[in-house]
Amino acid sequence: MLEKLNNLDVRILYVLMVIAATFPLLWPMGLPLPISEQVKASYNAIETNIKPNDLVFFGIDFEPTQEAELWPQVLAVGRHVASKGARMVLVNMIAGGFRYEERIEDVLIKQFNMKYGVNLLSLPFSAGREAAFQSIVADFKGLYKVDYHGKTLTDFPLWNEIKSAKDFKMYVQIADAPDWWLRPMSQVKGLLLWNGTVASGASTMAPLYQSGQMCGFIIGMSGGAEYEFLTKRPGPAAAAMDGQSMGHALIILFVILGNIGYQMTKRKEAEAKKAR
Partner 1 sequence: MGTAIGTWIGAFLTIGLFSWMYKENAWFRVVENIFVGASLGHLAVTGYQSIVDIAWKPALQGKAIMWLPLIGGFMLFSRWSRKYTWISRVPMGFLVGTTAAVVMNGAIKAQLIEQAAATMMKLNTINNIIFVAVTLSATIYFLFTLQSKKAEPVINLGKYGMMIAFGATFGQTVMSRISLFTGRMQFLLFEWLKLTPGG
Binding stretches for partner 1 (CB under 8 A): 11, 14, 17-18, 21-22, 25-28, 65-69, 95-96, 124-128, 130-131, 134, 145-146, 179-180, 182-184, 186-187, 198-203, 207-208, 210-213, 219-222, 236, 239-240, 243-244, 247-248, 251
Rounded distance between C-alpha atoms, residue 42 and residue 128, angstroms: 29
Instruction: Find the shortest distance in angstroms from Cβ 83 to partner 1.
Output: 25
Residue 137 or 158 with smaller CB distance to partner 1? 137
Rounded distance between C-alpha atoms, residue 130 and residue 93, angstroms: 9
Render the burial of 84-100: b for 16+ CB within 10 Å, e for the rest.
bebbbbbbbbbebbbeb
Instruction: Find the shortest distance in angstroms from Cβ 183 to partner 1.
Output: 3
Residue 116 or 125 with smaller CB distance to partner 1? 125
Instruction: Find the shortest distance in angstroms from Cβ 209 to partner 1.
Output: 10
Q: What is the DSSP letter of 34?
A: P
Q: What is the DSSP string of 138-207?
A: HHHHHH-SB-TTS-BGGGSHHHHH--SGGG-SEEEEEESS-STTHHHHTTSTT-EEEEEE-GGGHHHHHH
Q: Which residues lie closer than 8 Å to 153 by C-beta, 6 or more apart? A: 121, 144, 145, 146, 147, 159
Residue 159 or 180 with smaller CB distance to partner 1? 180
Instruction: Find the shortest distance in angstroms from Cβ 125 to partner 1.
Output: 6
Residue 69 or 119 with smaller CB distance to partner 1? 69
Residue 114 or 238 with smaller CB distance to partner 1? 238
Instruction: Find the shortest distance in angstroms from Cβ 127 to partner 1.
Output: 4
